[in-house]
Amino acid sequence: MNIDKKIADDLVANDVSFVTTVPCKQLAGVIEEVEARDDIFHIPSNKEDEGMGLCAGAFMGGKRPAIIMQNTAIGVTINTLATLTQFYRMPLPMIISYRGELREPVACQVEMAVHTKALLAQLNIPTYHFHWQKDVEEFDNILKYTFMCNKPVAILTDANFWGGYGDQ
C-alpha cells in the first residue's frame, strides 16, 4: 500500500480541498502527493499557528481544511488550538509526524515526543496514533469524525508507520 497516496485519496474523497503544510522528513512523500492533486489547494506555512489561522479562514470561506505538521508544533500551537480552533468550534484534521517515537534517530525529538500525547489529552483533542501501515485504514473515518464534530483532531504518525529512516 502507498500510504502517501491513500492519505491524499482520503482527503479528496472527504472534500478536503485546502491543505497547509510545515515540512518534516517523514512527511515529504505525503506533502508531494498533496501538492500534485488538482483537487487540493496546497499552501505551505512558515509556522504551524499561522497555518491554523489560514485553515480557520478557509473553513469560514466554505472549504474543508487540513494541516500537516510535526508534533513539535503542538508546543507552539496550544494557544491557537484553544482560543481559535476550539473556541470558535472549527474542524481541523491535523496529520502529525510523531517524531521521537520508536525508530527515531535524533535524541532531541524524544523530548517533545514524551509530552505530545499529554498535551493533546490536556486539550481534550481526540488523538489517533498510526504505528502500523494498516492503521491508515482508519484515516477516512477520522476525517468524517472530524467534520462531524467540528473539533481539531490529531493523527500521530510515527517513524514505524512511515517505514523508518531507511534504517531497515
Partner 1 sequence: MIRSEILKEIAPILNPHLVVCNIGLPSQELHMIDDNERNFYMLGTMGLASSIGFGLALAQDKPVISIDGDGSVLTNLGTLPTIANNATGNYTLLIIDNGSYGSTGDQPTYAGQKTSLSAVAKACGCDNVVEVQDKDLGPVLQSAIDSDEMTIIVCKCDSGNIKLPVITLDPVVIRHRFMEAVKA
Please give the residue ranges that form the binding site for partner 1 (CB under 8 A): 18, 41, 43-47, 49-63, 65, 79-80, 82-84, 87-90
Set of cell numbers at residue 66: 487540513
Smallest distance from partner 1 to CB 125, Å: 16
**Residue closer to partner 1, measured from CB, 12 or 54:** 54
Helix axes 139-149, 3-13, angle to 10 degrees: 30
Smallest distance from partner 1 to CB 164, Å: 31
Strands, E assignment, the chain? 16-21, 41-44, 64-70, 92-98, 127-130, 152-158
**Residue closer to partner 1, measured from CB, 47 or 129:** 47
**Residue closer to partner 1, measured from CB, 128 or 147:** 147
**Residue closer to partner 1, measured from CB, 87 or 165:** 87
Smallest distance from partner 1 to CB 20, Å: 8
Polymer length of the chain? 168
Query: In sequence order, what are the residues at sequence separation of 6 or more whose Cβ sits closer than 8 angstroms to the Cβ of residue 162?
Result: 3, 26, 29, 97
**Residue closer to partner 1, measured from CB, 83 or 141:** 83
The neighbouring-strand residues paired with 65 are: 18
Smallest distance from partner 1 to CB 107, Å: 27
> Are the beta carbons of 87 and 57 closer than 8 angstroms?
no
Smallest distance from partner 1 to CB 138, Å: 27
Q: Taking the alpha carbons of 163, 164, 166, 168 in that order, is the dihedral positive or negative? A: negative
